[in-house]
Structure 1
Amino acid sequence: MLNSNVKVDKKDAKLAMAHFYVAFIALFLGGTAGLLQTLVRSGKFTLPAGIGYYQLLTVHGVLLALVLTTFFAIGFLFASLSKTAGTLSPKVRLTAWIGFWVMTIGTASTATTILLGEASVLYTFYAPLQAHPVFYIGLALVVVGSWISGFAMFAHFGKWKKANPGKVTPLLSYMSVMTMILWLVATLGVAATVLIQFIPWSFGWVDTIDVLISRTLFWYFGHPLVYFWLLPAYMAWYVVIPKVIGGKIFSDALARLSFILFLLFSIPVGFHHQLTEPGIDPNWKYLQVVLTFMVVIPSLMTAFSMFASFEMYGRSKGATGLFGWFRKLPWGDARFFAPFMGMLIFIPAGAGGIINASHQLNQVIHNTIWVTGHFHLTVATTVLLTFFGIAYWLIPHLTGRVMTKAMNKLAIIQTIVWTIGMAFMSTSMHFAGLLGAPRRSAFSTYGGSAQAAEWIPYQIAQAIGGSILFIGIILVLVIFVNLAFFAPKGETEFPVGEVAEEAEKTPMILENWKLWVGVLAVLILIAYTIPFVDMIQNAPPGAKSFKHLL
């Protein structure tokens, strides 16, 4: 059993904190760009100094959806491995630092091109939009740097397994490795399209690009990216939150199985983002839609496990009745309150995701701002509120400080502010999307149609919500800076929950990495091989990016 008093090693703490510094800088810059976007869409604000709307849109998407999430997740995973699988070896730590600096250099390169107006291509960077070559090179470096960090994690995890043959691996370490396997397999798609298609095209080495293949490779990555955002949050939900509330983990085996299922059903499903695109056989789209809906199973497993843990805790405190346990939860603890609000908001977010992935319903909302509203419920609320909740205990643990009552109260206020702001912004995005408001357009491009006039109140509501959210960003940055540099010195626990005594024993088949990665490979081959061959064989004239390889 893990000793709960074990602290993350100071050298490992510095590594994790370096990732968090980049993540919170990205939050500020990307959040500022998001605020300006909502103000422009309201029609009441004009951008100064020649700043372009799509320049802001690219900054917002890249820094928040890619940089913030990736750096925070990797920092959290390293801290979790150090806590539960032992201090990183000097070689592993050096490899991790190399990964960090490669990612940071790539981030700086990409951000510079966007800020100079040379890469206003959005975070999806769809062709035929073209950016400066340094933009794509920077993206490639971010991916390669994350791979280096992933290999460092695998090496550390392998060392623990070698030293503890036949034992069940620590749950947080298991989840960390599963998350990085998902990331490495998913990023093969974006790495392929950037290296083989976009970089040669941006340098002028080829004249054209196969748009369908580039979009397919992007969405092979783009959908599991959502689960790379979510799985670190799920780690906190499954393992940390039960300890925070004073309860137990409902089931170790169920937690591991849910992560396996997320791995299997999150990658071979990219076509559900391409349901309206020609060139992909409808039968293959249907197969991937079915696989997409399979992810509902581990999602419901997670909901059941979490609320079972809450109820077990409440009953242990004397709660009676169907929902009596609800009152026993520690609502005044920001470490619990922020992630719990993220859990609640994931309910409408998941419902919206089902609509996005459905053949017929997708036709109603495809490429409307509904989709943007959905992303803001998932990554910008469920994931970020959980990340904030993690930061409230992990940052002081790593820096040797404690969160004061004043900071805890401010964190509660921050969570409420964020929830209110997102209620304004995401709800208005969903309603505007149902009225046909486009996903990526500024107010000035709407024209004077009667339909566009219907969208204006919702765009103003988005601006109100964006302004409230920016206040939330300022509040969380104040808390982060305090916990990193100014909070009183002291000991803060890294909360790792214990499994309930009545839980079933974890079967060792869940530790069979070769089996589950093999099943994943088979699913990917089934879902993509024939459609991909068809795309290449029937590529339009001049689409050399892949066809010239045959």
Structure 2
Amino acid sequence: MELFNFSKKESRLYMSFMYVTFVSLLVGGLMGLLQTLVRSGKYTLPFNIDYYTILTTHGVVLGLVLTTFFIIGFQFSLMGKTVGISDKQIMWGWVSFWVMLVGTVLAAWMILTGEASVLYTFYTPLRAHPIFYIGLALVIIGSWIAAIVNFRQLYVWKKAHKGEKSPLLAFMVTINMVMWVVASLGVAYSVVVLILPWSLGYVATVNVLLTRTLFWYFGHPLVYFWLLPAYMAWYAIIPKIIGGKLFSDSLARLSFILLLMFSIPVGFHHQLTEPGIDPTWKFIQVVLTFMVVIPTLMTAFSIFATFETTGRNKGYKSLFGWFRHLPWKDVRFLAPFIGMVAFIPGGAGGIINASHQVNALVHNTIWVTGHFHLTIATTVILTYFGIAYWLIPHLTGRRLTPKLNKLGIIQTIIWTVGMTIMSTSMHIQGLLGGPRRSNFSEYAGGDQVATWISYQISQAVGGTILFVGIVLMVYIFIQLAFFAPRGYEEYPVAEEDMDAEKTPKILENWYLWIGITIALILFAYTIPMIDIIKHSPPGSIPFDWPIGRS
């Protein structure tokens, strides 16, 4: 397997995305800490800062900015390593970066000045300043430019290697960016065509149900856009770190194809309690939602088969000898592994969230927030951290020293403890009916509110521990980027086993799989969208609806 070395121009491009990522981690983490402290009832925000301003900042900066910049920077590095990148493609990579950064600054400016306290979902009829929506549009456009660069990279490689199987990681990146582009078309249309003209005052009303539906057409595949880079590391990088080989190239490609097909036509399971959508179509999309269980279980099987096969090849013959001898003292493995474990209860919670009847118990409660903090803030982020421990020193020409590795292990444990405390209390409070987003510390009296606040105090404890972990992670990043000893850190890409079966060519038939994906989307959304547009009430949300929180 041919792997390309990075030039200094490449490394600077990839690192630029990492700088934004870790600045976002610090800013968003601070907002999260303040949020939990306020909800505990033990702290009041200074300078008349609005609670919903920090809530919006936390969600947008961590859920959209941090993830998107890390993913695109990481995926650029994967493509550069496996299929190469030209100077012209590097130039367009910089265009992508600057367009996204300008959009991020514009959106953040509006949020921090109180002109866009609309949360990261920016539901109408909440209305933000037009510059906020322009900023969001620029972030999406910048990401599309990055996607086009990635598609071009694979095309050029395939043209030079006719008849050859594309590198697995390049295939995975392409799947993720196809999913992102198809999904983000919905939110781009909603922002540019529906919401922005309303925010500017060019139209008097906005179709609330249509904008929400378009958001969740995008919002659920957004979760998989976050998750698939973690899957890339689990499938094709972790095996190299533990001294093994790729378990099955075919299984990995098939799981990504299934995730592409079943990640987009499922947005209605976020709208199960909303009127205006036919229950039959809600049920159909719930069924499609559960189809993602298949590639998820395939991934779990593949990863643990890799662990066991590697251990047994090293001579560990007892039932769980292979497990005991995994490299637990290597933070590049430990952090992603804990992320994998967290995905078990996270996935179970996802089944509850997507279930037609059971969802009614937890819908719009802080249970859902706890679920996101298990899946995204634990599974995904810990895997991203595990990637950063080798990616950053590889790009900067430095080494992950034993001391920094030990600090990374401490950081991982701190993060795990803090998230366990916070997420568990969120789940319990949600089962007791505690709503998400609301600041109930400002309410007085009532046994139920007192019970909720007791759990919110637990969340503040967990949030404080997490912020310590954030500060430590930022410190480690600074060390790896600027101060660690000069040297070489491996870019670990697992090789396929020599005896592996040949990957069927049909798995790289892009016309087939993208065509099936589009067919499923049209099936799941065409009739419901026609109904929403046809039967929506005449404009009932006036332009003079207040900016920010209603």
Q: What does residue range 279-294 of structure 1 map to in structure 2 within 5 Å? A: 279-294=276-291
Q: Which residue of 1 aligns with 2:2?
A: 2
1:235 aligns with 2:232: yes
1:327 corresponds to which of 324, 327, 347? 324
Give, in angstroms, the shift of residue 280 of structure 1: 0.3
Contact conserved, 2:311 with 2:322, CA < 8 A, in 1?
A: yes
Contact conserved, 1:7 with 1:494, CA < 8 A, in 2?
A: no
Unaligned segments of structure 1, at least 5 residues: 546-550
Q: Which residue of 1 aligns with 2:338?
A: 341
1:73 aligns with 2:71: yes
1:229-265 Cα offsets, whole Å, 9 max, x none, are 0000100000000000001111000000000001000
Give, in angstroms, the shift of residue 447 of structure 1: 4.1
Contact conserved, 2:240 with 2:492, CA < 8 A, in 1?
A: yes
Q: What amino acid does structure 2 have at the position aligned with 1:212? A: L
2:404 corresponds to which of 407, 416, 427? 407
1:517 aligns with 2:510: no
Q: What amino acid does structure 2 have at the position aligned with 1:11? A: K
Q: What amino acid does structure 2 have at the position aligned with 1:2? A: E
Contact conserved, 2:207 with 2:536, CA < 8 A, in 1?
A: yes
Q: Which residue of 2 aligns with 1:437?
A: 434
Q: How many residues align?
A: 542
Give, in angstroms, the shift of residue 521 of structure 1: 0.4
Contact conserved, 2:40 with 2:441, CA < 8 A, in 1?
A: no
Instruction: Output the TM-score relative to the length of structure 2.
Output: 0.97
Give, in angstroms, the shift of residue 7 of structure 1: 2.4
SS in 2 for 1:367: coil
Give, in angstroms, the shift of residue 450 of structure 1: 1.7
Q: What amino acid does structure 2 have at the position aligned with 1:47? A: L
Q: Which residue of 1 aligns with 2:497?
A: 500
1:172 corresponds to which of 164, 169, 173? 169
Q: Which residue of 1 aligns with 2:97?
A: 100
| Distance in 2 separating the partners of 1:292 and 1:539 | 26
Q: Percent identity?
A: 65
Contact conserved, 1:258 with 1:302, CA < 8 A, in 2?
A: yes
| Distance in 2 separating the partners of 1:203 and 1:34 | 31
SS in 1 for 2:497: coil
Deviates more, 1:319-328 or 1:117-126: 319-328
| Distance in 2 separating the partners of 1:272 and 1:374 | 15
SS in 2 for 1:330: coil
Q: What does residue range 528-539 of structure 1 map to in structure 2 within 5 Å? A: 528-539=525-536
| Distance in 2 separating the partners of 1:179 and 1:446 | 44
| Distance in 1 separating the partners of 2:513 and 2:444 | 52
Q: Which residue of 2 aligns with 1:193?
A: 190
SS in 2 for 1:537: helix
| Distance in 2 separating the partners of 1:476 and 1:240 | 21
Contact conserved, 2:441 with 2:453, CA < 8 A, in 1?
A: no
Q: What does residue range 184-223 of structure 1 map to in structure 2 within 5 Å? A: 184-223=181-220
Q: What does residue range 12-27 of structure 1 map to in structure 2 within 5 Å? A: 12-27=10-25
Q: What does residue range 311-460 of structure 1 map to in structure 2 within 5 Å? A: 311-460=308-457
Give, in angstroms, the shift of residue 421 of structure 1: 0.2
Give, in angstroms, the shift of residue 89 of structure 1: 1.0
Instruction: Output the TM-score relative to the length of structure 1.
Output: 0.97
1:155 aligns with 2:148: no
Contact conserved, 1:96 with 1:148, CA < 8 A, in 2?
A: yes
Unaligned segments of structure 2, at least 5 residues: 543-550
1:145-189 Cα offsets, whole Å, 9 max, x none, are 100111011111100000001100001111111111111111011
Q: What amino acid does structure 2 have at the position aligned with 1:464? A: V
RMSD over aligned CA atoms reads: 1.1
Q: What amino acid does structure 1 have at the position aligned with 2:399? A: V
SS in 2 for 1:542: coil
Q: What amino acid does structure 1 have at the position aligned with 2:150? A: M
Q: Which residue of 1 aligns with 2:546?
A: none
| Distance in 1 separating the partners of 2:440 and 2:267 | 30
| Distance in 2 separating the partners of 1:8 and 1:422 | 36
1:116-163 Cα offsets, whole Å, 9 max, x none, are 011000000111111100000000000001001110111111000000
